[in-house]
Amino acid sequence: MDCLFCKIIKGEIPSTKLYEDELVYAFRDIDPQAPTHFLIVPKEHISSADDLDENHKELIGHIFLVAKKLCAEEGLTKGYRIVNNCKEDGGQTVDHLHFHVLGGRSLNWPPG
């Protein structure tokens, strides 16, 4: 399958890795929108949040705990934002489920 993030997970495309375990891979976004901006992706290819089912409950909980751990390591004591863009109207451009984690500045709300 021709998937950018599957290639990054396999190391076929280089990335700045922050964390890896049996379930997930975390790496810095190539086009950061905040002083800290990284992505957490499942190693399993799941196209979007709309493709999740009951079997993924533990995975999604795990992703949020990995986010918390990495944000602590990044020194984001004032907070951060976890974002998932889902499919076309959600602004998803890479069709492998990923959670953006942004911090290091005050972030605007609402999104455009």
Binding-site ranges for ligand 5GP (CB under 6 A): 4, 13, 15, 27-31, 85, 91-94
Task: Identify whether 45 is a catalytic site residue.
Answer: no
User: Residues 45, 96, 98, 100: which is the catalytic one?
Assistant: 98
Q: Under rule CB under 5 A, which residues in 38-67 are in contact with Zn ion?
A: 45
The CB-of-60 to ligand 5GP minimum distance in angstroms stands at 16
> CA 55 from chain center: how many Å?
19
Question: Is the Cβ–Cβ distance between 84 and 96 less than 8 Å?
Answer: no
Q: Which residues are catalytic?
A: 98
Binding positions for Zn ion, rule: CB under 5 A: 3, 5-6, 45, 96
